[in-house]
Amino acid sequence: MNLQTVKNRFGIIGNSDALNRALDVAVQVAPTDITVLITGESGTGKENMPKIIHNYSSRKHHEYIAVNCGAIPEGTIDSELFGHEKGAFTGATDNRKGYFEVADGGTIFLDEVAELPLPTQVRLLRVLETGEFIKVGASKVKKTDVRIIAATNENVQSAIKKGKFREDLFYRLSTVPIFLEPLRERKDDIHLLFRKFSSDFAEKYRMPGIRLDQEAVKILEKYLWPGNIRQLKNVAEQISVIEKSRSVNKLILSKYLPDIDSDRNLPMVIDGKKESDHFSERDILYKVLFEMKQDVIEMKRVIVDLLNNNNLSNNEKTALITKLSSVSNDEKQSFQSEVGQTIDYNEKVENSESPSYNISFQESVEIEESLSLEEREKELIQKALKKHNGRRKNAAKELGISERTLYRKIKEFEILK
């Protein structure tokens, strides 16, 4: 099949070898029922591949359902996918069909599949292996004939090592893998895409189209595009609507590209990393140092508990005091102030009677540090949301947490939208 026909039908712009390879694989596997796993960074257009596969398959006259697994709360994901029986849980006032029952004979696209909870992954694995599932609150097994196509922007191998994703499910989903490369690797396609988006917005908003001069084109092609095609489209729309001049130079374009100064045509890079990456590393370092502080506080608590424990032998208490005697004077003073009593670190327990320490540990430092971390966490979330103009998905990715966790934190900290 002619790939250009496929591109025209689904509005795909570009001629890179990796893009053509991905489209070719999608067309080849379409007539089969093989499961496909699509990987690539956020904003690379992964949602187009399952549409192509479905429309060139024998299932094209049946249901096609796209499910964003990361946007469905963990408590309701099983009900959404597999359905539920009346009375299965609070609020289940009627029987409900899940997506796997509704799409019987068709195709289900599971976007952000790495966000699925582990129990749901087990249910999904059963559907893939046997075509069977059980509704929430039911005992009767149901059959379904559904083709599953999944996508993720996560490093699945890393998620497997962390115990967040089942290895057997990964291999079952990725019978045929399709990778979509980031926009920064498709230099020759960037200007083509920009022109297409500009033309579309000119027609949509009924205004003359915009065009870039040569210097602006160079900036466009050298920029790293962390948000990929989605970011490029957003920039084209902003310029189309906001700028009065229809001719865009490098100064105008630079205003819409984060991390680019008006006098430069490249993102700010220090030792191979953008300035924003260093800011992120500083935040991570702060968290690591705070966790180390918490460990020290916990160690002090244990020592105090042991010294107050009359069940310890004299020799054991002597060993603890000897250990304490090896710390620096500053550490001794800090420890003494926190336990609320002066301790003679050089004291030896020689008599048979157990010395009484009566040490009470002051937890004020720990409480203050916990509040500090909570404030810092709230500040980081606010920064991420501001940086990505309130786009929670992008902010969650920047913070290294799931969208579901970010939603919970926003509600917990009462962060205004």
* Nearest alpha-carbon partner for 337 in 310, 307, 360: 360
Total domains present in the chain:
4
Residue 277 has pLDDT above 50, yes or no: no
Residue 76 shares a structural domain with residue 175? yes
Amino acid (1-letter code) at residue 123? R
Amino acid (1-letter code) at residue 296? V
Of 17-21, 138-142, 330-334, the poorest mean pLDDT is in 330-334
Residue 198 shares a structural domain with residue 210? yes
Domain hosting 7: range is: 3-181
Instruction: Kindly indicate the confidence band of residue 367, based on its pLDDT and cuts at 50, 70 and 90.
Output: very low
Contact between 43 and 230 (Cβ < 8 Å): yes
The count of C-alpha atoms lying within 13 angstroms of the C-alpha of 319, restricted to the half-sphere facing its C-beta, is 6
**Per-residue burial over 194-213, b = 16 or more CB atoms within 10 Å of its CB, e = otherwise:** bbbbbebbbeeeeeeebebe
Residue 135 shares a structural domain with residue 190? no
CATH number of 405's domain: 1.10.10
Residue 293 has pLDDT above 70, yes or no: no
Residue 293 shares a structural domain with residue 305? yes
Mean of all residue pLDDT scores within the chain? 82
Q: Where are the alpha helices (DSSP H) in 187-245?
A: 187-204, 214-222, 228-242
Of 90-104, 188-202, 241-255, 296-310, the poorest mean pLDDT is in 296-310
Model confidence over 183-220: pLDDT tens digits? 999 999 999 999 999 999 999 999 999 999 999 999 99
Last residue of a domain, one of 138, 153, 181: 181
User: What tokens does 337 get?
Assistant: 């102030």
Instruction: Kindly indicate the confidence band of residue 288, based on its pLDDT and cuts at 50, 70 and 90.
Output: low
Residue 121 shares a structural domain with residue 241? no
User: How far lies 280's CA from each of 273, 283, 286, in Å?
Assistant: 11, 5, 10
CATH number of 160's domain: 3.40.50.300
Residue 275 lies in a domain: no
- Alpha carbons 314 and 307: distance in angstroms, whole number: 10
Residue 277 lies in a domain: no
Residue 24 shares a structural domain with residue 161? yes
Residue 392 lies in a domain: yes
Residue 351 parent element (H or E):
none
The pLDDT of residue 269? 44
Residue 122 shares a structural domain with residue 67? yes
Residue 325 lies in a domain: yes
The one-character DSSP state at 338 is: H
Residue 272 lies in a domain: no
The pLDDT of residue 385? 85
Residue 243 has pLDDT above 50, yes or no: yes
- Alpha carbons 388 and 359: distance in angstroms, whole number: 50
Residue 333 shares a structural domain with residue 403? no
Residue 41 shares a structural domain with residue 110? yes
The pLDDT of residue 342? 46
Per-range mean pLDDT, top range of 92-96, 124-128, 296-300: 124-128
Residue 274 lies in a domain: no
CATH number of 240's domain: 1.10.8.60
Residue 109 shares a structural domain with residue 157? yes
- Alpha carbons 54 and 64: distance in angstroms, whole number: 7
Contact between 134 and 142 (Cβ < 8 Å): yes
Question: How many beta carbons lie within 10 A of that of residue 309, not counting itself?
Answer: 12
Last residue of a domain, one of 159, 181, 203: 181
The pLDDT of residue 76? 93
Residue 162 shares a structural domain with residue 189? no
Length of the chain measured in residues: 417
Percent of the chain with pLDDT over 70: 72
Instruction: Kindly indicate the confidence band of residue 406, based on its pLDDT and cuts at 50, 70 and 90.
Output: confident
242 or 318, greater pLDDT: 242
Instruction: Kindly indicate the confidence band of residue 99, based on its pLDDT and cuts at 50, 70 and 90.
Output: very high
Percent of the chain with pLDDT over 90: 59
* Nearest alpha-carbon partner for 111 in 166, 171, 167, 51: 51
Residue 152 lies in a domain: yes
- Alpha carbons 151 and 174: distance in angstroms, whole number: 10
Instruction: Kindly indicate the confidence band of residue 358, based on its pLDDT and cuts at 50, 70 and 90.
Output: very low
Residue 177 lies in a domain: yes
356 or 389, greater pLDDT: 389
Residue 16 shares a structural domain with residue 66? yes
The pLDDT of residue 316? 62
Contact between 129 and 121 (Cβ < 8 Å): no
Considering the entire predicted model, what is its pTM?
0.63
Model confidence over 1-15: pLDDT tens digits? 789 999 999 999 999
Last residue of a domain, one of 181, 209, 234: 181
Cα torsion at 167, 55, 21, 34 (round to 10°)?
30
- Alpha carbons 29 and 115: distance in angstroms, whole number: 25
